[in-house]
């Protein structure tokens, strides 16, 4: 029996600006299995980021059910959502979003610190991960002293280090050159294979879509197509 990392049932979300209503998601239902390496694609305004925000508990749907790691997010308080994000979900943002006042190592161990993981264990985990994703020797550098690709790897390390059930990446390669983007995808795919962590990322980039094992295309807030292309298959309800 398939175990679902994410399950959406009839999710709707409409943004309101004064009298104007902009539907972002219209009755979206979707299942993503544990360990999938899935991408959402679509033109601007198609609902990619909204979908990731709702799955990550950063935003709330107007209606429907969102199940992540066995919990219905619609029923959780904001404190419970914060706890779920800290314990079970990792985020990678388009603009890296490292804390500029912390070093690469401190940024990567930020979420571990919030989880009160002891110092030695924290350092061991981060250093191991840094070596694995090619950041060895850069531990003490501040974000401003790293290239875009290095910063995004640190962001991936920060998302991965807590061993979350799910990683959400919003256009992670959008600010990277082609070679760096491929290198980052290598890292993410390697981690996906090695740890079985579920990855969902949004993208415009055809080469990222190529690498996804499942490609969910959105248009006008609805799933236009759901294509399994690799080792795991997705399920469109």
Write out the residues near other proteins by the rule CB under 8 A.
Answer: 53, 56, 58-59, 79, 82-83, 85-87, 91, 93, 95, 97, 99-102, 106, 110-111, 113-114, 116, 119, 158
Minimum separation from the CB atom of position 122 to other proteins (A)? 9
- Partnered with residue 203 across adjacent β-strands are 41
CB nearer other proteins, residue 109 or residue 226: 109
Minimum separation from the CB atom of position 101 to other proteins (A)? 4
Minimum separation from the CB atom of position 1 to other proteins (A)? 30
Minimum separation from the CB atom of position 168 to other proteins (A)? 10
Between CA 44 and CA 219 the distance in angstroms is: 9
CB nearer other proteins, residue 162 or residue 192: 162
Residue 145: CB atoms within 10 A of its CB come to: 12
CB nearer other proteins, residue 23 or residue 233: 23
CB nearer other proteins, residue 173 or residue 232: 173
Minimum separation from the CB atom of position 70 to other proteins (A)? 18
CB nearer other proteins, residue 22 or residue 82: 82
> What angle do helix axes 148-160 and 119-132 make, rounded to 10 degrees?
130
**With left for phi above 0 and alpha for psi between -120 and 50, is residue 111 left, alpha or beta?**
alpha
Minimum separation from the CB atom of position 236 to other proteins (A)? 25
CB nearer other proteins, residue 84 or residue 212: 84
Between CA 55 and CA 119 the distance in angstroms is: 31
Q: 55 — phi, psi (to 5°)?
A: -65, -35
Q: Contact at 8 Å (CB) between 95 and 109?
A: no
CB nearer other proteins, residue 19 or residue 79: 79
Between CA 193 and CA 16 the distance in angstroms is: 40
Q: 38 — phi, psi (to 5°)?
A: -110, 150
Minimum separation from the CB atom of position 77 to other proteins (A)? 12
């Amino acid at each position: 029996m398939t175990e679902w990392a994410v399950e959406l049932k009839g999710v709707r979300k409409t943004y309101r600006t004064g009298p104007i209503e902009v539907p972002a998601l219209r009755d979206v239902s979707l299942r993503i299995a544990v360990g999938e390496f899935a991408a959402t694609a679509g033109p601007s305004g198609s609902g990619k980021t909204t979908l990731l925000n709702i799955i990550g508990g950063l935003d709330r749907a107007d209606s429907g059910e969102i199940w992540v790691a066995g919990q219905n997010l619609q029923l959780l308080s904001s404190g419970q959502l914060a706890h779920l994000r800290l314990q079970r979900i990792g985020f990678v943002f388009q603009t890296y979003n490292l804390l500029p006042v912390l070093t690469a190592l401190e940024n990567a161990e930020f979420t571990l610190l919030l989880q009160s993981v002891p110092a030695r264990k924290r350092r061991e985990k981060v250093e191991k991960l840094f070596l694995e994703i090619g950041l060895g020797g850069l531990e003490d550098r501040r974000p401003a002293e790293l290239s875009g690709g290095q910063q995004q790897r640190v962001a991936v390390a920060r998302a991965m280090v807590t061993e979350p059930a799910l990683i959400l990446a919003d256009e992670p390669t959008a600010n990277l050159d082609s070679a760096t983007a491929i290198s980052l995808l290598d890292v993410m795919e390697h981690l996906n294979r090695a740890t079985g962590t579920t990855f969902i990322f949004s993208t415009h980039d055809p080469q990222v879509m190529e690498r996804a094992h499942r490609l969910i295309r959105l248009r006008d807030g609805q799933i236009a197509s759901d294509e399994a292309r690799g080792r795991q298959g997705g399920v469109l309800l």
